């Protein structure tokens, strides 16, 4: 047999290509989209403008952003067939499963715009990004026995989602905070879901199939589902004074403390730092339950940084503070991960389109460690 090669579990430390979309400096805790720091985008940009940046590699001019935003608005509404599908699945299926299935059905109801691949990819990206949030709002309302609310074209992308979810236009503060949350989740390099989307696309499958693959990968609790898992941990802790005991028990049992640690970041996740600021902003307006969750988070952060932050590079990540912020905006736990998927859809689309420009089928190797040349015996002799 061949000599056993070095095996990088989880493909850790392996580069499979080049990208101009995102740069993550894990040592210093920095994140950039197309050269712009995540802090500058969170302070100054909108989700629509950030989508344009990620798809085109540059910030838009005024007229370009107006046209792009108008295209997003025109693509928001959901075909009746998709609504019927959601209604049928909502009786028994989880929101991520419904989103995955609805996304796979979308191309059946989108007309091809032209024979130009670049134009088709762009049109499909707009359709995916715009309809994702509408699908999620429809899923949540239908699960609760409520009617689907059509999009309001006078509202921005984030504000429209809250409107479609709750039936009333949000105040500007809540709309802006969700806008920022979507910016923070829009892109993050070759993470598990992005790599999965690229791997599917490398076969020259279609863009929708690649996005469905990304949704499937994002679903797991070690990736997109971590924000739900982190919130469940806060509920399990229950009271701020229980935090230290819970962490002691978890660490002694070598259990993962959800919301801490990251494969890339060995410093404070810059997205978590931004979300923490807005959690503190929302805390004063929140109800007692959310204020209690925030207190548990602050206590857990303090304890974990003292014990594992500087020594082992385990710091809060983007998932840790997300849950209470979403709850403060009236977004239920069950659609945290679907909303993450909707926010990240632009990153998935951009990476797939970028990879297609120099496509090569992704086909890694695995090392066979079993026996060979075994004697085949008839079933009667086994």
Among 142, 75, 145, residue whose Cα is nearest residue 110: 75
Measured between alpha carbons, how far is 170 from 155 in angstroms, rounded to an integer? 10
DSSP-derived letter for residue 197 is H
3-state secondary structure of 22: strand
What's the DSSP call for residue 17? -
Indicate which residues carry an active-site annotation. Answer: 223, 262, 319
Q: List the structure tokens of 215.
A: 């949704």
Q: Which long-range contacts (CB under 8 A, 24 or more apart) does 302-311 make?
A: 303/243, 303/244, 303/247, 304/247, 304/257, 304/260, 307/247, 307/251, 308/260, 309/268
Instruction: Indicate the helix (H) or strand (E) that contains 78.
Output: none
Query: What is residue 207's three-state secondary structure?
Result: helix
Order of all β-strands in the sheet with 22-25: 22-25, 30-33, 36-37
Asked whether the CA dihedral 179, 184, 185, 188 is positive or negative, the reply is positive
Helix (H, G, I), strand (E, B) or coil at 200: helix
Residue 24, C-beta contacts closer than 8 angstroms, at least 6 positions apart: 30, 31, 32, 188, 189, 264, 265
d(CA 341, CA 347): 10
d(CA 58, CA 64): 11
Query: Which residue's entry shows tokens 């999009």?
Result: 151
Dihedral (C-alpha) 174, 180, 186, 192: value to the nearest 10 degrees? -90
Q: Is the dihedral of CA 361, 339, 27, 234 positive or negative?
A: negative
Q: Are 128 and 208 in contact (CB under 8 A)?
A: yes
């Amino acid at each position: 047999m061949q000599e056993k090669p070095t095996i990088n579990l989880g493909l850790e430390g392996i580069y499979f290509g080049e990208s101009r979309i995102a740069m993550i400096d894990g040592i210093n805790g920095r994140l950039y989209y197309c050269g712009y720091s995540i802090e500058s985008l969170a302070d100054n940009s909108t989700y629509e403008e950030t989508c344009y940046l990620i798809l085109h590699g540059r910030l838009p001019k005024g007229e370009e952003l107006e046209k792009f935003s108008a295209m997003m608005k025109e693509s928001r509404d959901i075909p009746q067939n998709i609504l019927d599908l959601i209604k049928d699945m909502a009786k028994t299926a989880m929101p991520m499963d419904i989103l995955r299935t609805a996304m796979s059905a979308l191309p059946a109801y989108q007309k091809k715009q032209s024979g130009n691949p670049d134009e088709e990819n762009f049109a499909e990206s707009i359709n995916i990004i715009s309809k994702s949030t509408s699908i999620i709002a429809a899923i949540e309302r239908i699960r609760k026995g409520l009617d689907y609310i059509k999009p309001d074209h006078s509202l921005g992308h984030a504000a429209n989602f809250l409107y479609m979810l709750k039936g009333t236009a949000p105040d500007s503060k809540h709309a802006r905070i969700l806008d920022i949350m979507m910016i923070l989740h829009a892109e993050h390099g070759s993470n598990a879901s992005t790599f999965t989307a690229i791997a599917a696309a490398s076969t020259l499958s279609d863009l929708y199939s690649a996005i469905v693959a990304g949704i499937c990968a994002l679903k797991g609790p070690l990736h997109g589902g971590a924000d739900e898992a982190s919130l469940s941990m806060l509920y399990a802790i229950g009271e701020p004074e229980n935090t230290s005991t819970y962490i002691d028990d978890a660490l002694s049992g070598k259990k993962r403390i959800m919301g801490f640690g990251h494969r890339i970041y060995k410093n404070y996740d810059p997205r978590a730092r931004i979300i923490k600021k807005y959690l503190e902003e929302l805390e004063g307006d929140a109800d007692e339950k959310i204020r209690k969750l925030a207190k548990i988070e602050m206590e857990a952060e303090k304890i974990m940084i003292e014990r594992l932050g500087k020594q082992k590079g385990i710091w809060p990540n983007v998932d840790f503070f997300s849950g209470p912020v979403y709850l403060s905006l009236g977004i239920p736990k069950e659609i945290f991960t679907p909303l993450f998927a909707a926010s990240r859809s632009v990153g998935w689309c951009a990476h797939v389109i970028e990879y297609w420009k120099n496509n090569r089928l992704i086909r890694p190797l695995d090392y066979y460690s079993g026996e060979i040349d075994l004697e085949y015996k008839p079933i009667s002799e086994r």
